[in-house]
Structure formats: C-alpha cells, structure tokens
Amino acid sequence: MAQLAIKVRGEVLSSNFDEWKLDLIAQIQSVNTELTTEAQFAQAQTNVKNFKAAEQALKKAKESAINQASDIQRLFSAIDEVSGEVRQVRLSLERQIKQRKSEIKEEIVELGIANIEKHIELQGPDFQRIDHSDYLDRGIFEEAMKYRSNINALHDAIDDTCRRIKSLIDEKVALVKNNAMKLDSLPVTHQALFQDRSELLALDASQLDELIDKRIAVLEQKIGTTNKDQDDEPTVPDEADVDLSVDTEAKETYAAIIELLATPVEAETFFRALRSAYSGNPLVRTFQLEKA
C-alpha cells in the first residue's frame, strides 16, 4: 500500500488521496474471510496490520490538513468515511480470526479425545469396568495447547498428549489384568466378599493385597465367633434320643425356608453356621444358599 500524502493551502494543492483510496478499497474488497490454512491466517494478520496503519495515516493526514486550510470539508468527510470503513473491516476480520482459531482448537481437542476413546475401546472387558474420566478430561488437552497459535503446533501438542495418555492406559491395563487374576484365583467361598470388582480392579497391587487379606480375616473372625456361640447353645437331641414309636407314618420330603435380609458376607456367615450346627442331624438331607 502506497504512503498517504496530503498537502493543503486554503485549497487542496496536491493530493494522491483518490488513488490511495482506490488502492485501499481494492485491498478491502480482496480480503479473504475463509480462514483455514496457515497462509490464510498469515495474510489475514497482515491485512489487519495494514488496515490499522491506514487508519493511523488517515488520522494524521486529517490533522495535518485541518491546520492548513478551512476549505477542505469534502476531503475531511471522505477521509472520515474511508477511515470508518477500514475500521469496521479490521474489527470484523479480527473477530473472525479469533472465532475461527477457537473453533479449530475445539476441533483438534475433539480429535484427541476421540483418539483416546478408540484406544480405550480396544482394551478388555475388565478395563471397561473402571473409571476412564482421568484419560478423557478436556482440561488436559486444552492445557497442552496453551501458548500455541500455529495450527501445526496445536496438532503436534495434541499428538504428544495422546501418546502420553495411551502409555498411561497401557500401564493401567497391565495392572487391571493382574488384579483380575488375583480376584479370580480366590476360593469360591470368598468371591462374595468382592462384589465391588470395578473399584478393586483399579487399585494399586499393594492396596488390593491388603484389602483382600483384611476382608478374609474379618470373615474368618465372624465364622469363628458364630461357631463358638453355637457350641455354647444347648445340644439339639439326636433322632435316637426321641421316642418316635408313636409316629408310624411314612417319611416325606420337607423344606424349612429361612429368608434373610443381609449382605452377601452376612448371608454366607449365617449359612456356614447353620450348616455347621445341623450337618450331623439325620433328618437334614441338603443345605443350599440362594439369592432370592
């Protein structure tokens, strides 16, 4: 863009304003408002600088001319008109640059999150049961793009973040797999103690070992206490001690039903105590614990 120069002395003695204005209008009309590539963003930033310089040149030219003559209102009006138009175009372009960059950042963040979601979907069913929110937190991806404005740099930042998160996921997958093997290898009689499998799978190995030992110890303590209480109760007389001579009817199968409102551990403990107390009674054929 040529440098604007205006000289007046009661009348306009010389001015290239008309040519300068046409040049400026041509630049305004050539502004590309479709911002996608790095080159387009760079050109838009250059246009913003040029338009701002044009505003300043017009302001200075007006101030210079207003001190040289009073018969130049037409020139001043034209300057004001062009200055206002340049300002509107510049502000609009600045807003568009800002909005489009924000949209592009959002698109890149979504691509990063989708990349991690796909990696999670490839893992086994046990890993699907644990919480994945730490790997999909938008804040992680947005933080990675801070202080970066170049589109390629934004993509590189998200790619690096995805690689780091995938590495953390792979480490967690190995931990979950080992925890699942520990839980699955427990005796069937202890499986009811670990119904919160989803939370247990995500624990550190040492935390899981400690919790397993603690729950089993609590169960065994309850069973021991129950058995002691049963030993202190009066002994149920055997069938041999009861005179059944008066009952000559044929024997039939009966089911004595006891319905419990209890936790899995409490139900298992009660069942063990019941079986221990009556397993020697010849009237009892089977013991069975079922969830209603």
Residues 192, 180 share a domain: no
Please, what are the averages of pLDDT over each run of 10 residues along the chain (292 residues)?
Answer: 73 83 90 87 90 91 75 77 91 92 94 97 94 95 92 96 97 95 88 88 94 90 69 52 54 80 76 69 78 76
CB 248 within 8 A of CB 266: no
End-to-end C-alpha distance for the chain, whole angstroms? 86
Structure token digits, residue 155: 């993509």
211, exposed or middle or buried, with CB in 10 Å at 0-12, 13-18, 19+? Answer: middle
Residues 131, 34 share a domain: no
Residues 169, 92 share a domain: no
Domain membership of residue 250 (yes or no) is no
Domain membership of residue 218 (yes or no) is yes
pLDDT at residue number 9: 62
pLDDT at residue number 288: 80
pLDDT at residue number 2: 78
pLDDT at residue number 212: 93
Write the DSSP string, 100-132: HHHHHHHHHHHHHHHHHHHHHHTS-HHHHTS--
CB 7 within 8 A of CB 15: yes
Residues 291, 219 share a domain: yes
| Cβ-based neighbour number of residue 130 at 10 Å | 19
| Final residue in a domain of this structure, among 67, 101, 135 | 101
Q: Which domain holds residue 152?
A: 106-184
Domain membership of residue 248 (yes or no) is no
pLDDT at residue number 64: 81
Domain membership of residue 62 (yes or no) is yes
Domain membership of residue 55 (yes or no) is yes
CB 219 within 8 A of CB 265: yes
Domain count, the chain: 3
pLDDT at residue number 163: 97
Residues 208, 110 share a domain: no
Domain membership of residue 275 (yes or no) is yes
| Final residue in a domain of this structure, among 75, 101, 127 | 101
Q: Which of 96, 76, 104 shows the shortest CA–CA distance to 33?
A: 96
| Final residue in a domain of this structure, among 168, 184, 200 | 184
198-211 pLDDT, tens digit each: 999 999 999 999 99
Domain membership of residue 167 (yes or no) is yes
In the chain the beta strands, taken as DSSP E runs, fall at: 6-8, 12-15
Residues 195, 274 share a domain: yes
Q: How far apart are CA 64 and CA 12, in angstroms?
A: 12
